[in-house]
Amino acid sequence: MVRGLAQGRVGTGTVAGLAVVAALVAGCGSSGSTDANVTPAVNASSPSSPAAAAPASAAGASAAGASSAAGASASMGGMTSDPSATPANQIAGAKSSTFTLLNTRPAGTDNVRGTAWLATSDTAGTTLTVAVTGLQPGVHYIAHIHAQPCSVSNGGGHFKFDPKGPATPPNEVHLALPADASGASRATVTNPRPVGAAAKSVVIHPVGALDKRVACADL
Protein backbone atom coordinates (compact mmCIF):
# COMPACT_ATOMS: atom_id res chain seq x y z
CA MET A 1 0.00 0.00 0.00
CA VAL A 2 1.25 3.35 -0.83
CA ARG A 3 2.75 5.68 1.73
CA GLY A 4 0.46 8.33 3.08
CA LEU A 5 -2.77 6.35 3.43
CA ALA A 6 -2.56 6.75 7.18
CA GLN A 7 -2.09 10.52 7.11
CA GLY A 8 -5.36 11.21 8.90
CA ARG A 9 -5.94 14.22 11.14
CA VAL A 10 -6.89 13.98 14.78
CA GLY A 11 -10.56 13.13 15.17
CA THR A 12 -12.63 12.86 12.01
CA GLY A 13 -9.59 13.07 9.76
CA THR A 14 -7.98 10.03 11.33
CA VAL A 15 -11.20 8.05 11.07
CA ALA A 16 -11.29 8.89 7.37
CA GLY A 17 -7.69 7.79 6.99
CA LEU A 18 -8.42 4.46 8.65
CA ALA A 19 -11.44 4.00 6.39
CA VAL A 20 -9.22 4.41 3.34
CA VAL A 21 -6.76 1.82 4.66
CA ALA A 22 -9.54 -0.65 5.38
CA ALA A 23 -11.01 -0.07 1.94
CA LEU A 24 -7.70 -0.65 0.18
CA VAL A 25 -7.15 -3.88 2.09
CA ALA A 26 -10.66 -4.90 1.04
CA GLY A 27 -9.87 -3.84 -2.53
CA CYS A 28 -6.92 -6.24 -2.50
CA GLY A 29 -9.13 -9.06 -1.27
CA SER A 30 -11.23 -11.75 -2.84
CA SER A 31 -13.96 -9.41 -4.02
CA GLY A 32 -11.53 -8.06 -6.62
CA SER A 33 -11.45 -11.27 -8.63
CA THR A 34 -15.20 -11.53 -8.97
CA ASP A 35 -16.07 -8.07 -10.28
CA ALA A 36 -19.60 -8.02 -11.66
CA ASN A 37 -20.05 -7.79 -15.42
CA VAL A 38 -20.48 -4.23 -16.59
CA THR A 39 -21.46 -2.47 -19.79
CA PRO A 40 -18.89 -1.82 -22.54
CA ALA A 41 -16.43 1.05 -22.52
CA VAL A 42 -17.13 4.40 -24.13
CA ASN A 43 -14.47 6.28 -26.04
CA ALA A 44 -12.92 9.45 -24.60
CA SER A 45 -9.68 10.81 -25.22
CA SER A 46 -15.49 22.92 -0.60
CA PRO A 47 -12.97 23.07 2.21
CA SER A 48 -14.09 21.06 5.21
CA SER A 49 -14.95 22.82 8.44
CA PRO A 50 -12.18 22.87 11.07
CA ALA A 51 -12.58 19.98 13.48
CA ALA A 52 -13.19 20.80 17.10
CA ALA A 53 -10.28 20.18 19.45
CA ALA A 54 -10.38 16.61 20.72
CA PRO A 55 -9.98 15.80 24.41
CA ALA A 56 -6.76 14.10 25.50
CA SER A 57 -8.35 10.66 25.59
CA ALA A 58 -9.67 11.03 22.04
CA ALA A 59 -6.29 12.28 20.87
CA GLY A 60 -4.66 9.20 22.36
CA ALA A 61 -7.14 6.93 20.61
CA SER A 62 -6.55 8.78 17.36
CA ALA A 63 -2.79 8.33 17.65
CA ALA A 64 -3.23 4.63 18.29
CA GLY A 65 -5.56 4.38 15.30
CA ALA A 66 -3.07 6.16 13.08
CA SER A 67 -0.39 3.73 14.22
CA SER A 68 -2.63 0.80 13.31
CA ALA A 69 -3.32 2.33 9.91
CA ALA A 70 0.39 2.75 9.27
CA GLY A 71 0.94 -0.87 10.19
CA ALA A 72 -1.79 -2.02 7.81
CA SER A 73 -0.25 0.10 5.06
CA ALA A 74 3.21 -1.34 5.63
CA SER A 75 1.86 -4.89 5.60
CA MET A 76 1.16 -4.68 1.84
CA GLY A 77 4.12 -2.38 1.09
CA GLY A 78 5.74 -2.99 -2.28
CA MET A 79 2.90 -5.29 -3.31
CA THR A 80 0.97 -2.24 -4.50
CA SER A 81 3.71 0.32 -5.15
CA ASP A 82 7.48 0.30 -5.58
CA PRO A 83 8.92 3.84 -5.73
CA SER A 84 12.44 2.46 -6.13
CA ALA A 85 11.61 0.39 -9.22
CA THR A 86 12.62 1.44 -12.72
CA PRO A 87 9.41 2.65 -14.43
CA ALA A 88 8.18 0.39 -17.21
CA ASN A 89 8.36 3.22 -19.75
CA GLN A 90 12.15 3.26 -19.22
CA ILE A 91 12.50 -0.47 -19.94
CA ALA A 92 13.29 -1.56 -23.49
CA GLY A 93 10.43 -3.38 -25.19
CA ALA A 94 7.70 -2.17 -22.83
CA LYS A 95 4.17 -1.95 -24.21
CA SER A 96 2.20 1.28 -23.83
CA SER A 97 -1.53 1.88 -24.00
CA THR A 98 -3.80 4.89 -23.58
CA PHE A 99 -6.66 4.71 -21.08
CA THR A 100 -10.24 4.81 -22.34
CA LEU A 101 -13.01 6.18 -20.14
CA LEU A 102 -15.61 3.67 -18.97
CA ASN A 103 -19.30 4.41 -18.56
CA THR A 104 -19.18 3.02 -15.02
CA ARG A 105 -16.91 5.88 -13.92
CA PRO A 106 -17.99 7.95 -10.90
CA ALA A 107 -18.90 11.62 -11.15
CA GLY A 108 -15.99 13.99 -11.44
CA THR A 109 -13.75 11.74 -13.54
CA ASP A 110 -14.81 12.72 -17.06
CA ASN A 111 -11.43 14.33 -17.74
CA VAL A 112 -9.28 11.36 -16.77
CA ARG A 113 -6.44 10.80 -19.22
CA GLY A 114 -3.40 8.60 -18.94
CA THR A 115 -1.11 5.84 -20.10
CA ALA A 116 -0.19 2.38 -18.86
CA TRP A 117 3.18 0.79 -19.61
CA LEU A 118 3.89 -2.91 -19.15
CA ALA A 119 7.31 -4.55 -19.32
CA THR A 120 7.77 -8.30 -18.91
CA SER A 121 10.60 -10.79 -19.18
CA ASP A 122 11.38 -14.26 -17.92
CA THR A 123 14.26 -12.92 -15.84
CA ALA A 124 12.87 -9.59 -14.55
CA GLY A 125 9.21 -10.54 -14.21
CA THR A 126 6.55 -7.84 -14.56
CA THR A 127 6.77 -4.07 -14.23
CA LEU A 128 3.60 -1.98 -14.49
CA THR A 129 3.64 1.82 -14.56
CA VAL A 130 0.58 4.08 -14.76
CA ALA A 131 0.53 7.85 -15.22
CA VAL A 132 -2.87 9.52 -15.09
CA THR A 133 -4.43 12.98 -14.70
CA GLY A 134 -8.00 14.20 -14.15
CA LEU A 135 -8.69 12.13 -11.03
CA GLN A 136 -10.51 13.58 -8.05
CA PRO A 137 -7.86 15.37 -5.95
CA GLY A 138 -6.93 13.57 -2.75
CA VAL A 139 -8.88 10.42 -3.61
CA HIS A 140 -7.14 7.04 -3.47
CA TYR A 141 -7.46 4.88 -6.58
CA ILE A 142 -6.08 1.47 -7.47
CA ALA A 143 -5.26 -0.20 -10.77
CA HIS A 144 -5.41 -3.93 -11.42
CA ILE A 145 -4.29 -6.04 -14.35
CA HIS A 146 -7.40 -7.74 -15.75
CA ALA A 147 -7.98 -10.95 -17.67
CA GLN A 148 -10.17 -9.52 -20.46
CA PRO A 149 -9.74 -6.68 -22.95
CA CYS A 150 -11.52 -3.41 -22.26
CA SER A 151 -14.22 -4.27 -24.81
CA VAL A 152 -15.28 -7.35 -22.81
CA SER A 153 -17.12 -6.42 -19.63
CA ASN A 154 -14.79 -3.45 -19.10
CA GLY A 155 -11.86 -5.79 -18.52
CA GLY A 156 -13.72 -8.64 -16.82
CA GLY A 157 -12.17 -10.14 -13.69
CA HIS A 158 -8.68 -9.73 -12.33
CA PHE A 159 -5.73 -11.51 -13.90
CA LYS A 160 -4.28 -14.19 -11.60
CA PHE A 161 -1.00 -16.06 -11.97
CA ASP A 162 -2.71 -19.03 -10.32
CA PRO A 163 -6.42 -19.02 -11.28
CA LYS A 164 -7.24 -20.95 -8.11
CA GLY A 165 -5.01 -18.82 -5.90
CA PRO A 166 -5.84 -15.82 -3.69
CA ALA A 167 -7.14 -12.53 -5.08
CA THR A 168 -4.25 -10.63 -3.52
CA PRO A 169 -0.69 -9.75 -4.51
CA PRO A 170 1.60 -11.40 -5.45
CA ASN A 171 -0.95 -13.68 -7.16
CA GLU A 172 -2.50 -10.57 -8.72
CA VAL A 173 -0.96 -7.28 -9.82
CA HIS A 174 -2.32 -4.28 -7.92
CA LEU A 175 -1.03 -0.70 -8.21
CA ALA A 176 -1.95 2.00 -5.68
CA LEU A 177 -2.69 5.38 -7.31
CA PRO A 178 -3.25 8.16 -4.75
CA ALA A 179 -4.30 11.34 -6.57
CA ASP A 180 -2.39 14.47 -5.60
CA ALA A 181 -3.86 17.94 -5.15
CA SER A 182 -4.06 18.40 -8.92
CA GLY A 183 -5.73 15.02 -9.53
CA ALA A 184 -2.61 13.41 -10.97
CA SER A 185 -0.97 10.13 -10.03
CA ARG A 186 2.02 8.17 -11.28
CA ALA A 187 3.25 4.90 -9.79
CA THR A 188 5.06 1.65 -10.54
CA VAL A 189 4.72 -1.86 -9.17
CA THR A 190 6.74 -5.00 -9.87
CA ASN A 191 6.16 -8.74 -9.63
CA PRO A 192 8.86 -11.42 -9.94
CA ARG A 193 6.75 -13.39 -12.45
CA PRO A 194 5.92 -12.32 -16.02
CA VAL A 195 2.19 -11.94 -16.60
CA GLY A 196 2.25 -13.41 -20.09
CA ALA A 197 -0.45 -13.24 -22.75
CA ALA A 198 -3.27 -13.90 -20.27
CA ALA A 199 -3.01 -10.32 -18.99
CA LYS A 200 -5.27 -8.27 -21.24
CA SER A 201 -5.88 -4.85 -19.69
CA VAL A 202 -5.36 -2.43 -16.80
CA VAL A 203 -8.40 -0.99 -15.02
CA ILE A 204 -8.52 1.96 -12.60
CA HIS A 205 -11.20 2.47 -9.96
CA PRO A 206 -11.52 4.20 -6.58
CA VAL A 207 -10.30 2.18 -3.63
CA GLY A 208 -13.15 0.13 -2.18
CA ALA A 209 -15.43 0.72 -5.19
CA LEU A 210 -14.73 -2.10 -7.64
CA ASP A 211 -17.96 -1.38 -9.53
CA LYS A 212 -16.96 2.25 -10.23
CA ARG A 213 -14.42 1.49 -12.94
CA VAL A 214 -12.99 4.76 -14.21
CA ALA A 215 -10.82 3.84 -17.20
CA CYS A 216 -9.28 0.87 -18.99
CA ALA A 217 -6.15 0.41 -21.11
CA ASP A 218 -5.64 -2.66 -23.30
CA LEU A 219 -2.26 -4.37 -22.96
pLDDT tens, residue order, the chain (219 aa): 333 333 333 344 433 443 443 444 444 443 444 444 444 444 443 333 333 333 333 333 333 333 333 333 333 445 799 999 999 999 999 999 999 999 999 999 999 999 999 999 999 999 999 999 999 999 999 999 999 999 999 999 999 999 999 999 999 999 999 999 999 999 999 999 999 999 999 999 999 898 999 999 999
Q: Is residue 4 part of a domain?
A: no
Q: Do 46 and 180 touch, CB atoms closer than 8 A? A: no
Say how far apart CA 210 and CA 199 lie, in whole Å.
18
Whether residue 69 is contained in a domain is answered as: yes
Question: Does residue 48 lie within any of the structural domains?
Answer: yes
Query: Where would I find the H helices in the chain?
Result: 12-27, 56-76
Domain that holds residue 162: 12-218
Tell me which H or E stretch contains 205.
strand 201-206
Query: What torsion do the CA atoms of 60, 63, 67, 73 make, to the nearest 10 degrees?
Result: 140
Q: Give one DSSP letter per residue of 110-131, joined into a string.
A: TT-EEEEEEEEETTTEEEEEEE
Q: How many domains does the chain have?
A: 1
Q: What's the confidence (pLDDT) of residue 48?
A: 34
Pair 85, 127: CB distance under 8 Å:
yes
